[in-house]
Amino acid sequence: MEDEQKDGLLETRLVKVRGIVQGIGYREACVRRAHALGVTGWVRNRMDGSVEAMVQGSPGQLADMCAWLSEGMSAALVDGIEVTEVAPPFARFKHFERLPTL
C-alpha cells in the first residue's frame, strides 16, 4: 500500500456522510477502518449532524474507504455520501485522526 503512495498514485477525497452517524461511535469506527486500509487523513462531526472525512491514499484504498463510509457500521443509518475530489497540490497526511466537531 505504501508503495502505491510512493509511486505517485496518491489521491485525496473530501467525503460528507449524511444520516444517523453521530453519537454512535461512527468516527472511532472510521479511524479503525482507515488504519486497517492504510488510509491517512481525518474525520470529524459537523454541526448539521453529518460526518466529514478527508481521506488520502491510492485509488484502491479510497474506493474501499468510500465503500465503507457509504455502508458505515451496523449502528449507523447512512442516507448517502457526497465525495469531492481534492485536486493537487494537497497536503500529505501522515496518519488518520479524529478532529473536533466543526
Catalytic residue among 27, 44, 46, 98: 27
Quote the CA–CA distance of 57 and 91 in Å, as a whole number: 12
Q: How would you write the pLDDT of the chain (102 residues) with one tens digit per residue?
A: 444 444 568 999 999 999 999 999 999 999 999 999 999 999 999 999 999 999 999 999 999 999 999 998 889 999 999 999 999 888 899 999 999 887
Q: Is residue 43 part of a domain?
A: yes
At CB < 8 A and 24+ separation, what contacts does 20-23 make?
20/76, 20/77, 21/49, 21/50, 21/51, 21/72, 21/76, 21/77, 21/78, 22/49, 22/51
Q: Is residue 102 part of a domain?
A: no
3-class DSSP string for 18-57: EEECCCCCHHHHHHHHHHHHCCEEEEEECCCCCEEEEEEE
Tell me, yes or no, if 27 is annotated catalytic. yes
Residue 26, domain member (yes or no): yes
The structure's pTM equals 0.88
* CATH code of 27's domain: 3.30.70.100
Domain count, the chain: 1
Domain interval for residue 54: 2-86+93-97
**39 domain-assigned:** yes
Active-site annotation holds for 98: no
